[in-house]
Amino acid sequence: MSQRENVNPIREQNHRKNSRRYQKRAAARRRRNTIFIVEIVLLLILAVVLFFVSKLSKIEKTKLDMDKIEVNEDISQESQKIMMFGLDNRSNGNLSQGRSDVIMLANINNDTKEVKLVSVYRDTYLDTGDGIFQKCNAAYAKGGPEQAISMLNVNLDLNITDYVTVDFNSIIECVDLLGGVDMEITDDEASLMTGYIRELNELTGNKAENLTQGGTYTLNGVQACAYARIRYGGGDDYRRTERQRTVLTAMVKKAQQSDLTTVNKLINEVCGDIQTSFSNAELLALASQVFQYSIGDTTGFPFTKTTRVLSKKTGDVVIPCDLSDNVKELHIFLYEDSAYTASDTVKQNSEKIVSDTGFKSGDGH
């Protein structure tokens, strides 16, 4: 008789039943383990979201009155990728008022994660609202972010609908938390920084040292802010905005290389000095990709320009030569849109600037 025939049928049947029970129990355990792991992951995700929401709650949120914002409906959707960063010195303690010391446009390429920055010179002679042409930074003081955004949309053919305003002096604490930023300083810049360092030390209670000569330094917060504020004798507002972009770029790179403890401290410091129209959900979406972004090309606007004192009231202004040509170059820089043509509004504003100043296309540098 074969070995198979010697097997007890009842025992074999029981063995099969026990085996199926074991497999069912093992499968149940695996399902429970899987559910348990998924629950842990969900809890971790929830914890991270709550962490960031708690940070974002410190940011001052404002809802823009879109009825007060002018946009150019003829401009393509790509213009809506633009964001405006208006960094104010908070001299009046209110981020909704005051002349904007810094006006930056940022275009994020969602495919390459490259960010292009454009500084709009604050003294640029533009329509700030109601057909009043003056220094463009007056728009924020006259009507807050809505009027500042309208000023940019109308004069530059953009469709900006969101903004961020930051206390520029918060750069001091942020740079210090990052352990400083590396900068190459000229002899002239080192000399010009002295007065700003003294003023910032008095305002903040810091004791930053002056730089005795040019060279490559790791600047602390006060020194970096002083460097970014150099204007007279240091290339005027053109070079100043370039320095601002240089400091911002260095800060972003340093932050991306920092550990989570430093990033947490940085978030705590910055959030209280920000006002924005972005929702928490939109900010979280941006924050989730922040380490993938890189700052690419940066420049200033207008590209071709000159400066003149038009009157005692207007003061020394930056004159686009002419506005239409400069706006076309802006769209090529931001969007690589060589097919762009200026809107009727931009053409009319361009003609008004030529009439007021006497400077036309080809007159600037």
Higher-confidence residue: 49 or 182?
Answer: 182
Mean pLDDT, residues 316-337 taken together: 93
Mean pLDDT, residues 19-23 taken together: 60
In terms of Cβ atoms closer than 10 Å to its own Cβ (0-12, 13-18, 19+), residue 156 is: buried
User: Quick one: pLDDT at residue 56?
Assistant: 64
Long-range contacts of 315-318 (CB under 8 A, 24+ apart): 315/123, 315/135, 316/123, 317/123, 317/124, 317/125, 317/134, 317/135, 318/121, 318/123, 318/124, 318/125, 318/237
Higher-confidence residue: 88 or 265?
Answer: 265
Residues 186-215 have pLDDT tens digits of: 999 999 999 999 998 988 888 999 999 999
Higher-confidence residue: 198 or 37?
Answer: 198
Match 């010009």 to its residue by tokens: 192
> Is 83 in contact with 286 (CB distance < 8 Å)?
no
What pLDDT band is residue 77 in, cutting at 50, 70 and 90?
very low
Range with the poorest average pLDDT among 42-56, 64-78, 177-191 = 42-56
Residues 51-65 have pLDDT tens digits of: 555 566 667 767 777
Taking 70 as the threshold, does the pLDDT of residue 19 lie above it?
no
Mean pLDDT, residues 258-264 taken together: 79
* Angle, CA 127 vertex, CA 92 and CA 339 arms, to 5°: 120
What pLDDT band is residue 351 in, cutting at 50, 70 and 90?
very high
Alpha helix stretches (DSSP H) within 134-259? 138-156, 171-177, 187-204, 221-229, 236-256
Match 């706006």 to its residue by tokens: 327
User: Quick one: pLDDT at residue 217?
Assistant: 95
High-pLDDT (> 90) share of the chain, % = 32
> Is 89 in contact with 169 (CB distance < 8 Å)?
yes
What pLDDT band is residue 116 in, cutting at 50, 70 and 90?
confident
User: Quick one: pLDDT at residue 338?
Assistant: 86
User: Quick one: pLDDT at residue 100?
Assistant: 67
